[in-house]
Structure 1
């Protein structure tokens, strides 16, 4: 069995990809101006933070930490930013915002959610970097369950989105999101045994098969959904109902064993 390793931290000194540098600079200025002294700190996570983003395929994922709950006026500012950036930078597929309050982020109960996310998934863009308040994390069931015990909720949401998709483009986007979630959740199910940290969804699926080789066909099907290939709705829903529900039960079973 592999020895536990500390999870990797994204190098904050490594510059963002050239295509995203102006986007990030402008985003910081807009959020500082729109939120004023309520803005505690600002972070990027996802592929732009990791410097692996692909124009016209990758979202811009932002974490905004405030001192107080944001006002209706601030919500309007966020909506305006989304509209402006989609028009100005069409190669960004979407802007995703997550909000948190500084005192809640630092609460002990948030260590495996906010603590893990800021420490190992984000890069601080502005303000007091709260990731420095947390020590390094090791692959564990605690991290896996805090990030994936909601897989049943994701299945319900994306099953409906796929069933109700009006265009092939809309369906493919939903397929890719849920396939990525299921592949990463599959690896997280065995992460506490494997003692590694893997982010690439395809690699997650392959490593998972080392422990569950009987699920090879299911992982192959998820790979097809992730690839962007349009698949018949009934086939996609079949994967979610079959493998997705197996995964939900496997999480509950593991939680019962480990706690």
Structure 2
């Protein structure tokens, strides 16, 4: 793999692996595998994956969260979501080395569809590490850092902004504002990176590197993006930080993204 996150043929390399999981998080991964197996039998579960800082080997005990992707044979139901919520809560309670658990649910048909090929498909093929079941990466293309990939992964930031503003207006506690600021900041940094990704010609999921790469092309917004990266790692309850993300940097970024890459194909 090259220094820009690419394989020798110029396609984006899969970024995680189970042998990169830090020792402190190995029991977490084992417990996640067991919980998923106990909860979702083979009639429901096609495959399971782990993604984020834990399989990248950069997780920090007490700070990093556990991110899981479950691919189901059918489209997720309310019962599937309820079972996933139970897994999230159980793992979060059991392991102090993780700060939160997130479980994504996707139907295999949706994931392999033409509409999701450069979004959910890319996510599984390049950003997820196989944990259980057959790996769907072999049924997906190899991806390059193109404008098409940029548009389909992050070309809908404006939709997220409207949801964040509504949640910010309803947030009455520091905990609520921290949760929102963390999610919004991470999304904004990733969008900032994919805005410049085709020009840079590579891939990274590292928040700090993403912010610095963005700043090379948009120096006037570099300080704000560095603040976003810091907030993505250590969330802030400061309303001013949240306002900067949702009312200043975010709207500018959404408009610039549309001008450069266009809008993501509409989803049902």
Name the TM-score class by shorter chain: 0.7 to 0.9
Quickly say closer, same or farther: Cα 1:170–1:136, change in 2 above 3 A: same
SS of alignment partner, residue 111 of structure 1: coil
SS of alignment partner, residue 112 of structure 1: coil
Q: Is residue 16–residue 55 contact of structure 2 (8 Å, CA) maintained in 1? A: no
TM-score, scaled relative to structure 1: 0.86
Partner of 2:23: 18
Aligned-residue CA RMSD in angstroms? 2.7
- Find out whether 1:243 has 2:249 as its counterpart: yes
- Find out whether 1:54 has 2:60 as its counterpart: yes
TM-score, scaled relative to structure 2: 0.83
SS of alignment partner, residue 49 of structure 2: strand
Report 1:55-94 matches (<5 A).
Answer: 55-70=61-76, 72-94=78-100
Q: What's the offset of the Cα at 1:222?
A: 2.8
- Deviations, residues 142-164 of structure 1 (Å, cap 9, x unaligned): 11111211212222233333443
Q: Which residue of 94, 97, 105 corresponds with 1:99?
A: 105
Q: What's the offset of the Cα at 1:256?
A: 4.7
Quickly say closer, same or farther: Cα 1:70–1:196, change in 2 above 3 A: closer
- Deviations, residues 50-107 of structure 1 (Å, cap 9, x unaligned): 1221222222111111112455554443232222212211332222111122233223
SS of alignment partner, residue 199 of structure 1: coil
Quickly say closer, same or farther: Cα 1:162–1:104, change in 2 above 3 A: closer
Q: Which residue of 169, 183, 188 corresponds with 2:189?
A: 183
User: Which of structures 1 and 2 has the bigger CA Rg?
Assistant: 1
Query: Unaligned stretches of 5+ in structure 2?
Result: none
Q: Which residue of 222, 232, 236 corresponds with 1:216?
A: 222
Quickly say closer, same or farther: Cα 1:167–1:60, change in 2 above 3 A: same
Equivalents in 2 of 1:213, 1:62: separation in Å?
A: 35
- Deviations, residues 223-256 of structure 1 (Å, cap 9, x unaligned): 5544637464245314421221111111221235
Partner of 2:176: 170
Q: Which residue of 116, 121, 130 corresponds with 1:110?
A: 116
Equivalents in 1 of 2:39, 2:232: separation in Å?
A: 36
Query: Unaligned stretches of 5+ in structure 1?
Result: none
Q: Which residue of 3, 7, 10 corresponds with 1:5?
A: 10
SS of alignment partner, residue 6 of structure 1: coil
Partner of 2:165: 159
